[in-house]
Chain A
Amino acid sequence: MLSYILRRFAYGALVVLGVLVFLFFLFFAVATPDDIARRSVGEKATPAVIEQWKINHGYDRPLFPGPGHYKDNLFVRHMTSMLTFDLGRSDADGVPIKQRIAEGAGPSLALSVPLFFLELFVSVVVSLFVAFFRETYFDRIVLVFSVFSMSVSILLYIIGGQFLFGTVLRWFPLSGFDSSPSLLFRFLALPVLVGVFASVGSSIRFYRTVFLEEVHKDYVRTARAKGASELRIMLKHVLPNAMIPILTNVVMAIPFLFTGSLLLEAGFGIPGLGALTVEAINANDFSTLRAMVFIGSLLFVLGQVLTDIAYTIVDPRVTLE
């Protein structure tokens, strides 16, 4: 058991290293420091200007270790600064990225956590209903609704949501954020609502398939033959059995809650990590983007490793490889 856990962690660490190497190639080899500099200071910049930019932003070093610079090269600096969670400073305004991420994590979580759980609740409940009343008009309405909801870009939901709920009905503020508990709810209600609306379509479709698959299984037929009521079958048999794919889905999504939603945060003025990313994009701030991708994947890998371990402990059927 212990050796399995250790091996699982080691594999996770390997994946994180893989991500770092990938990021290095992405940001330094595919787009060399010269490219990054040129994109920042303009296509027609003189070589001197590019050199100065590289010096100012710490890119004036060889890419890989070599004689005379085994330690002082971009690869080693990139790996150490990430692995020690130093993360460096922003290419755009020189503020430590760590500080920026610490500031942004709260607002991002405040939006993404309620959004996620509400969406989960709504989609599971609705798809349970659909499975229960399968092949009725309700099923068809929900299906049409979910295909519609998937086919509209979230951008239109944001514009429409602000107009309808902020301007016409005046239920919620148009945009903004405040971390004090009394105001938090007020500001988050609309983005959460819009977020749920935009993503619930595809979730309903997914969970509907999961439930329908369970409904057609043998044990359900057996239960029905025994005379169990349809409602009881749903709640006592289908739901618990569908829990495994649902939970797997949930666990996979949790690490991404941290990185926030780019469009919702930008559209509603929530100063989280998603908005930070949008700003980094606008400012060609590669160092911040790099750090964001690294942190995101680190959390994801950690989440996965922990789930795997939890599975082996909880479910004896999962074999230890």
Chain B
Amino acid sequence: MRADGQTVLFARRPNLRGEESAQRGLLPVLLGTLIAAVLALGCTNRPYADEESHEPILYVPYGEPPKTLDPAVAYSTADHVVTGKVYDTLLDYHYLKRPFELIGGLAEHVPEAEPLEGGRVRYQFRLREDLRFARDACFEEGPKDPARFTEDGARRVLATDFLFSLSRVADPAVGSPVVEPLSHIDGLVAWGERLAARRKNDAEFAKRRVSQQYQEIGALSGFEVLSDREFAITLHSPYPQILYWFAMPFTTPMAFEAVDYYTGEGGRPSLDEHAVGTGPFVLKRYDKRARIVLEKNPDWYGVRHPEWRAPAATFPSLEGVTGLSAANIEDFAPLAGRSLPMLTRIEMRREEETIPTFGKFMQGYYDTSGIARESFNRVVHEGGLSAEMAERGMRLEKSVVPAVFYLGFNMDDPVVGSAAGERSRLLRQAMSLVTNSEEYCRLFLNGRGLPAQSPLPPGLFGYEEDYKNPYRTLNFEEARRLLAQAGYPGGIDPKTKRPLKLTFDVADTSPESRVRFLFWTNQWRKLGINVELSATNYNKFQEKVRDGAYQIFQWGWVADYPDPENFLFLLTGPMARSASGGPNTANFSDPEFDALFGTMKTMENTEERLEVIRKMRAILERERPWIELFHPEEYALAHGWLRGVKPAGLSIATTKYYGVDAVAREQARREWNRPILWPAWVFLALLAGLIGPLIGRYLKERT
């Protein structure tokens, strides 16, 4: 840039103006192109590919990803979102009838109980013809034995596959949470113990394939294989609820090939991350942190044999169904007899934030939605749909969920638990007396909850509407008196001379839910008890609970099946988390309660049974292992194009009954989501207005 630079500078001067204007024009052009490109290419808020839009695909969000897909282990609602669709069950519930009624699933009929000598009971199952597993890589290993495979190479479902899945439940290494209820099956526990002992003593044995190990341990005495399609299960004592367990995926048939193949080693996923089932859907994509895709299973019996009209394979007719609303009848009647599943695919997207989730539902990109607390007043107006929602063709389905939410005390804890005897009982009673769940429902659930008096929710045998628990009625005077009697006058712990300090372990770490938990601790501050929050996420919380390291916790229980036994067993001694890893998280153990439970569980729904339940309720009322909070009421929103939706409350597989009017959906999506483009032009105009005068001035100065 010295002398020669100068000449160049001069020499190029005539061109300079052209060059400059080109450069000056470049920026707005570039910016304009960019914005035009953004508007043209991406100017839609549709979060899916466009070509999918006319297929009957169900779009639903999910929050917490499943922890495991292993049907012998999976128990939480988050897991069931997938396992309930890919694994089929021996028995099923009638989709429309309430109270719930069992019907055949993989089994042709619901078996009758055959009483045997010594109080034993036998159930004989007969499987449907031509049941097959979904195609999977694990079946392609080695030669195909014609005894197990059909001519076109599909793996048949055999009676032994049910034996295998029960063996897995019994296997202590699998860690199934339902060993206890299924231990009614004769010899199940002994079989598991034999397996564990053999593994411990014989290192060589422990290295063998799981299927081989099971075979070597020998027969499970309560399970008889009668033929390929028939088997019988014998219980050592009567347990009528066992049939409900056969309507859950724990006892879904399991192919030994899958267990041997999906070990989590050699680059193959484990059964926690992969599913080989017989259900109406197959897992197509399992990217659990972001997206789960299920597709219609072409090998499902209902798909292969639509002419069978099997009860769980077609949409039920309305005959004999009562209690449906007019809107329901209008929706369900045309669907009756249609073969299932009506969906070709289920697209599940992970959504962690409530605002975008509900926003996408409102835009028509999700087919169903719960109602976020924040949106409630917009959606529901005086118990019905608001005008805005009704105009969009939405439906509101209200149902009382057979569930209970409660605050539990860890009865193994030295301060709040039974070790502190009378003192801790008074403390629990006092805390229960000031816990205002009605206010909680009002503030956080928009009143969508019924304050609970006992563990039993409405709709279950044993629930009594006029029962009022004296310790669940607000009474501060009494609470202060009890607290003083417990040795904590005014909440002061005599040992430290300061307010009694307790810890409340919660499963959710988000700041929003912190407010909810603070609501409870604020209640106890009124008594002078200082309860501190300790937050971890759900999976980690389950770990904490498994290890018994907690004092107070909040938990909910959704019914597995419609029987009071399913709620009251949560408080029986043998179910204690600390003793057996069972679901009695409070570790409550009371011999009298356990004895009453033993009587109650095998009884028919009679006045005598009610009497026993009342006695059990009285024990809980006094001992207060739980502070029962509320029974939630579910308000589910569905778009008008989603057909055949009937909320069940129970964790049962309902998705196969859903249908989608994809054309109507597409129309609505287009109509509701026309982008508003003018602000872009306003913005560009503003930008030009901002820079234009400057450029103008510059040009003027130059000339």
Contact = CB atoms under 8 A, between A and B. Distances in A.
Nearest to A158: B353
Interface stretch (A14-22, A62-70, A164-172): A164-172
A170 B544 contact: no
Nearest to A279: B289
B534 interface: yes
B690 A41 contact: no
Contact of B351 (A42, A125, A230, A269): A269
Interface in B535-560: 536-537, 539-540, 543-544, 547-551
B45 A172 contact: yes
A271 B547 contact: no
A176 B349 contact: yes
B305 interface: no
A174 B691 contact: no
Contacts of B503: 42-44
A188 to B, nearest CB: 9
Given A138-B690, A183-B48, A93 B543 contact: no
B9 A283 contact: no
Interface in B657-676: 673-676
A170 B353 contact: no
A319 interface: no
Contact of B42 (A45, A186, A232): A186
Interface residues of A, number: 60
B44 interface: yes
A281 B45 CA distance: 31
B547 A52 contact: yes
Nearest to A192: B38
B49 A49 contact: no
Interface in B617-644: none
A182 B46 CA distance: 12
Interface stretch (B70-78, B354-362, B488-496): B354-362
Contact of A176 (B9, B20, B47): B47
A263 to B, nearest CB: 12
Chain B contact patch, size range: 35 or more
B333 interface: no
B537 A283 contact: yes
Contacts of B42: 171-172, 185-186, 189
Contact of A177 (B290, B359, B363): B290
Contacts of A232: 16, 20
Nearest to B674: A170
Contact of B675 (A40, A129, A162, A170): A170
Interface string A50-71: 0011000000000000000000
B353 A267 contact: yes
A51 B509 CA distance: 25
A226 interface: yes
B27 interface: yes
B173 to A, nearest CB: 14
Contacts of A235: 23
A92 interface: yes
Contacts of B352: 266, 269
A288 to B, nearest CB: 12
A220 to B, nearest CB: 12
B550 A42 contact: yes
Contact of B9 (A49, A189, A226, A276): A226
A173 interface: yes
Interface in B328-380: 349-353, 355-356, 359-360, 362-363, 365
Interface in B518-572: 534, 536-537, 539-540, 543-544, 547-551
Interface in A136-194: 136, 138, 141, 159, 162, 166-178, 180, 182-183, 185-187, 189
Nearest to A174: B356
Contacts of A228: 9
Contacts of A223: 1
Given A40-B544, A49-B548, A186 B509 contact: no
Contacts of B356: 162, 166, 174-175, 269
B549 A46 contact: yes
Contacts of B323: none
Contact of B49 (A42, A166, A180): A180
A183 B44 CA distance: 10
A43 B9 CA distance: 76
Interface string B577-619: 0000000000000000000000000000000000000000000
Contacts of A177: 290
Nearest to B702: A229
B509 A41 contact: no
Given A42-B534, A166-B359, A283-B539, A49 B41 contact: no
B688 interface: no
A92 B540 contact: yes
A171 B45 contact: yes
A275 interface: yes
Nearest to A168: B676
Given A40-B540, A41-B547, A44-B503, A174 B49 contact: no
Contacts of B20: 229, 231-232
Interface string A229-272: 11110010000000000000000000000000000001101010
Contact of B505 (A42, A219, A282): A42
A202 interface: no
Contacts of A72: none
Given A175-B353, A226-B9, A269-B350, A170 B45 contact: yes
A173 B45 contact: yes
A311 interface: no
B540 A284 contact: yes
A125 B540 CA distance: 48
A167 B676 CA distance: 10
Given A175-B353, A226-B6, A283-B539, A49 B289 contact: no
B289 A231 contact: no
A25 interface: no
Nearest to B20: A231
B675 A269 contact: no
A162 B677 CA distance: 16
Contacts of A162: 355-356, 359
A307 B689 CA distance: 42
27 contacts: A41-B549, A42-B503, A42-B547, A43-B549, A44-B551, A46-B549, A49-B549, A53-B547, A103-B289, A159-B355, A168-B676, A169-B677, A171-B675, A173-B46, A173-B365, A178-B48, A183-B47, A185-B41, A186-B42, A189-B38, A189-B42, A229-B16, A229-B20, A269-B353, A276-B289, A282-B509, A282-B537
Q: Which 8 A-B pairs have the closest CB atoms?
A: A42-B549, A45-B549, A271-B290, A173-B47, A174-B356, A175-B356, A49-B547, A176-B47
Given A44-B503, A52-B547, 15 more contacts: A40-B540, A41-B549, A42-B549, A46-B548, A49-B548, A103-B289, A136-B694, A141-B690, A171-B39, A172-B44, A174-B356, A175-B47, A229-B16, A269-B352, A279-B289
